[in-house]
């Protein structure tokens, strides 16, 4: 049986086709803001890659910021439920999930069965989200995937003291004008996101293992800074950005 999970995020649409609730047959990440054709492109891609027709899909579940306005799903399920399911599938020992997306950050506490028992969220402030990194990458004329490469070269990471994205933007521009090296700036930027989200995580309580999901988890600079901030090892999976879509496809299997 094939099920489809779609995660309509603020900045990306993700899709996964799952076979029998276990095997990931195909996956797709399309960079497109919510409300565009990003979802249909992600779905077309997974159908094409798997060689399946739409009719072969037994159940479709939508999650994410844009799930309420998407009419093609059998069920709409919260991101929290889906991230918990997806992470438990790839990391059964996870006790805490730190999910940093394009516009918000969430920390979930899981029980031994992978069920969410508590969570905290920041969706009010761009600092501590992917948006902060996107703005900074833009100023530095770097691709978002290059941030981790630059951060790894840092010798004296700077401290970004501004707590607001707009002020931090000015601070980074001043640092550039003063001749600060790009790697030192990028390491400071990654550190800033980690510090903010770590304080959110401490509010919910850290239970090992700690898994990072969402697009920002792909940045090793943020993962390493988070590990230092929390004093724990960070678990990671190359499909970290797809955990919501994976959880949605698992939910679809369970409902069928
Ligand atoms: P949403 O679900 O809110 O759309 P995602 O979980 O897809 O968000 O995360 C999007 C964020 O992930 C972007 O804002 C960006 O900062 C970050 N990101 C995306 N791709 C990469 C990459 N290749 N390397 C590092 N960070 C990335």
pLDDT digits (tens, 9 = 90+) for 110-137: 998 999 999 999 988 899 999 999 999 9
Distance 186 CA to ligand 1 centre (A): 16
The CATH fold assigned to 1-91+238-256 is Nucleotidyltransferase; domain 5 (3.30.420)
Does the pLDDT of residue 35 top 80, yes or no? Answer: no
Residue 11 near ligand 1, beta carbon < 6 Å: yes
Does the pLDDT of residue 34 top 80, yes or no? Answer: no
Residue 13 near ligand 1, beta carbon < 6 Å: no
pLDDT value for 102: 94
**Given the DSSP bridges, would you call strands 96-100 and 105-110 parallel, antiparallel or unpaired?**
antiparallel
Distance 102 CA to ligand 1 centre (A): 6
Q: How confident is the model at residue 74 (pLDDT cuts 50, 70, 90)?
A: very high
CATH number 3.30.420.40 given to 94-236: yes
**Secondary structure E strands in the chain:** 2-8, 12-19, 23-31, 57-63, 75-76, 96-100, 105-110, 116-122, 210-213, 234-235
Domain layout of the chain by residue ranges = 1-91+238-256, 94-236
Q: How confident is the model at residue 8 (pLDDT cuts 50, 70, 90)?
A: very high
Do the domains spanning 1-91+238-256 and 94-236 agree at the CATH topology level? yes
Q: Write out pLDDT tens, residues 163-217.
A: 888 999 999 999 999 999 999 999 999 999 999 999 999 999 999 999 999 999 9
Among 4-13, 39-48, 52-61, 120-129, the least confident range: 120-129
Does the pLDDT of residue 32 top 90, yes or no? Answer: no
Instruction: Give the span between the Cα atoms of 102 and 42, in whole angstroms.
Output: 17
What mean pLDDT is reported for the chain? 95
């Amino acid at each position: 049986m094939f099920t489809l999970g779609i995660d309509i995020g603020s900045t990306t649409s993700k899709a996964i086709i799952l076979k029998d609730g276990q095997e990931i047959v195909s996956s797709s990440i399309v960079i497109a803001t919510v409300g565009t054709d990003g979802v249909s492109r992600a779905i077309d891609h997974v159908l094409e890659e798997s060689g399946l027709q739409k009719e072969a899909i037994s159940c479709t579940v939508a999650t994410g910021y844009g799930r309420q306005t998407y009419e093609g799903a059998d069920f709409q399920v919260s991101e929290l439920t889906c991230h918990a399911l997806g992470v438990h599938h790839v990391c059964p020992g996870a006790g805490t999930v730190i999910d940093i997306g394009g516009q918000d950050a969430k920390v979930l506490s899981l029980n031994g069965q992978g069920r969410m028992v508590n969570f905290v969220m920041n969706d009010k402030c761009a600092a501590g989200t992917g948006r902060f990194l996107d703005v900074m990458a833009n100023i530095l004329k770097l691709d978002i995937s290059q941030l981790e490469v630059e951060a790894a070269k840092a010798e004296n990471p700077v401290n970004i003291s501004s707590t607001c994205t707009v002020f931090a933007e000015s601070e980074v521009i001043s640092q550039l004008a003063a001749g600060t090296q790009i790697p030192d700036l990028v390491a400071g930027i990654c550190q800033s996101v980690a510090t903010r989200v770590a304080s959110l995580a401490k509010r919910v309580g850290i239970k090992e293992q700690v898994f990072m999901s969402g697009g920002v988890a792909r940045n090793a600079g943020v993962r390493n800074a988070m590990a230092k901030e929390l004093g724990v090892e960070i678990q990671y999976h190359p499909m970290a950005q797809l955990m919501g879509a994976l959880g949605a496809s698992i939910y679809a299997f369970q409902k069928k």
